[in-house]
Amino acid sequence: MTTELRPFHLAIPVDDIETNRSFYRDVLGCKEGRSSDHWVDFDFYGHQLVIHLKERSPKEQQNNPVDGKEVPIPHFGVVLDMPTFGKLSESLQKRNVKFIIEPYVRFEGETGEQATMFFKDPSGNALEFKAFKNLDQLFAK
């Protein structure tokens, strides 16, 4: 069964609109859409991401062990193709983005083999970008 992929909408809190606007627009290359002084829409690889100005309450970062790494929970991101993942990874490294988990290949030689990387936006929201060796294995068991 083929299902049309629909864009998702995700709204996240940020503690500084201008710093995060610059990060998503200039560092990640997301096209900016509508905005106000309290929120900004972005085209996040075909999905609608909205940053909302909200003072963050201090909370402990949760992690989940995966493939010998501590994966931050919660996190969000997008699945890219391998060439785009490589270009983004190189761009982030050149911009000295601090990685939570540096780009590497996870589950190598297994079902679901994928390149992945984790980093945070300026407000501390964790992002994961990944690319599957075989996209048909995105939902494989």
Full-model pTM: 0.86
Query: Quick check: helix, strand or coil at residue 42?
Result: strand
In the sheet where 9-14 sits, what is the strand order?
Answer: 9-14, 47-53, 39-44, 31-35
For each of the domains in the chain, give its residue range(s) and CATH number, in order of start. 1-55 (3.10.180.10), 65-141 (3.10.180.10)
Give 83's pLDDT tier (boundaries 50, 70, 90): very high
Give 59's pLDDT tier (boundaries 50, 70, 90): low
Rounded Cα distance between 12 and 129, Å, is: 17
Rounded Cα distance between 21 and 39, Å, is: 9
Give 60's pLDDT tier (boundaries 50, 70, 90): low
Give 118's pLDDT tier (boundaries 50, 70, 90): very high
Q: How many CB atoms lie within 10 A of CB 40?
A: 23
